[in-house]
Amino acid sequence: MPITLTNEQIVSIWDNDATRRDTQTARRKYYDGTQAILDEGAKRIDGSDRTRNVINWVRYVVNSHVSFLTCEPFRYSLDAMAAEQAEGVSADEQRKALYNLSLIYDDNNLNASDVENMVNAVLCLNGVEVHSYDPEGNDGEGKIVITSYDPEDWGFLRDASGNVVVAVYKTTIPAGAYFDDAIVDEDFDLYAVYDDASIRMLRSSGDDLIEDSNTPHQYGRIPVIDYYAGPNNDKSFISDAFVGLQDSYNYVASGNTDALLYNLDSLLKMMGMEQGALYEKDAEGKRAIDLVRENRVLPLPEGGDASFIEKSNNYDAYDFSLTTLRRAIHMMGAVPDKEEIAGATGATSGIALKLKLQPQIEQGSNFFKYFVAGLRQRIDLINALWEIKSFPLLTNYNVKPDLNIPVNETEIWTSIGALDPYLPAAEMLRRIPGVEDPDATAEAKKAENEENTSLELERIKATQPVGGVAVDADPNAGSDDADFNE
């Protein structure tokens, strides 16, 4: 049933998500490298600015988890068991629907959208995707359009179970922009309100909103998907505590650089020479201190001495702090420290590599369990339009990621033959890294084997006994006694 909202309620839905948007803005800045240490205004003892290094662990951890799941596009496959149990479901129709889905993925570049939605879900607590239909797309055949949005531009109204029932998009159209077939005279806020029946477009006019359009849609549900990395839209494994570790690492690393710079400028202590003598000028107007620098000679009176005053800092404390923080960051971020993986060149066994990655495997699996709910909503929205167009629906399917787990390739190559009694060649090749097209590789090997077999049969046929005497096609071929026999 359509939800009727007043202008005040629409603005309220947007305003009520202000706290979440503040968190998203702050996280986005950290991901982009604008972190707290850059606002540090303290000076070093010599009056120069303190070092303000950003070692961006937030970006590193977020990208590590996202690429771990999206290194290969998500894999959709038919659930054969469910298809057999469902009445009136044709396997051919399901395969056709799966093919049609691949076309929509290509048209909308959804593999890239999945990466964007995942980054937003991990970093900004949620990702947002909007579905629409372009009847003029694909040369008039119609096209499903799927677009990812910045979650900072959205506010949501949810029911008691946390499901989105109304989504409000807000953006500012600046003066001079081209909008709705005209050049905008002055800035105004544009609102798009999505519910399960229609899409309303409103623009601000003073303190009020004026409705531009109210367009019904045929999805039967709200055409906006909210992607999560956790059980709801306010939790992610990138927490405020993790951001605190990021700040601490930046401050310690920058402080260590300050200490190094401080030690580069040592003081010279001289005994038996007055300070003023260094600045006396000779007949040519050169100061004594300049001649010392030029000639690298320091004349001292009898009994005089000179030495540098060495500064010292506790570098062990810095090293201990950075090491401790690094371990805590990798632990809280659930990613392995690649520098500590012994034998990363390939000498480590596959089991050892997987154990090193176990925290990330577990975190990635949990993350995907929540994210896949959004992917299934995507299929539901696509099915809604396919049903109207009498296309086959995709109902019995599985969707899984291909985890980016490093392996010991030498170990795989030497052991893969043990699977020969159980798997066809193409399936064995799929388990070998570096084989980009297992099916084509298996077919090429099969053709090569058939050609070799054919050549061997021809060779055997040519050397078969004739009339009880073995006759070679070329009796002199390969014989060192050819001339003698002649």
Instruction: Collapse the DSSP code of 183 into the 3-class scheme (helix H, G, I; strand E, B; otherwise coil) and give the result.
Output: strand
> pLDDT digits over 191-247, tens only?
999 999 999 999 998 889 999 999 999 999 999 999 998 886 667 778 889 999 999
Identify each DSSP E strand in 176-277 by its residue range.
178-179, 182-183, 188-194, 198-205, 208-216, 224-227, 267-271
> pLDDT digits over 437-464, tens only?
888 888 888 888 888 888 888 888 887 7
> pLDDT digits over 133-143, tens only?
999 888 888 89
> pLDDT digits over 297-352, tens only?
888 888 888 887 776 667 788 889 999 999 999 999 999 887 777 544 545 666 66
Whole-number pLDDT of residue 482: 41
> pLDDT digits over 202-214, tens only?
999 888 999 999 9
Contacts 24+ apart (CB under 8 A), 111-114: 111/70, 111/73, 111/74, 113/146, 113/147, 113/148, 114/70, 114/73, 114/74, 114/375
> pLDDT digits over 28-51, tens only?
999 999 999 998 877 766 677 889
The larger pLDDT score, comparing residue 277 to residue 183, is at: 183
Q: What is the mean pLDDT of the chain?
A: 85
Dist. CA 45–CA 43, nearest whole Å:
7
Residues 71-97 as b/e (b if ≥16 CB within 10 A, e otherwise) read eeebebebeeeebeeeeeeeeebbeeb
The ranges assigned to domains in the chain are 7-239+364-400, 413-466
Dist. CA 60–CA 66, nearest whole Å:
10
DSSP of 67-79? HHHHSSPPEEEE-
Phi, psi (deg, nearest 5) at residue 224: -125, 130
> Residues with Cβ < 8 Å from 255, sequence gap 6 or more?
51, 318
pLDDT at residue 484 is higher than 90: no
Whole-number pLDDT of residue 483: 42
Q: Please tell me which of 193-202, 248-257, 423-432 the model is most confident about, judged by mean pLDDT.
A: 193-202
pLDDT at residue 110 is higher than 60: yes
Instruction: Collapse the DSSP code of 341 into the 3-class scheme (helix H, G, I; strand E, B; otherwise coil) and give the result.
Output: coil
> Residues with Cβ < 8 Å from 45, sequence gap 6 or more?
262
> pLDDT digits over 358-389, tens only?
888 888 888 899 999 999 999 999 999 999 99
pLDDT at residue 286 is higher than 50: yes
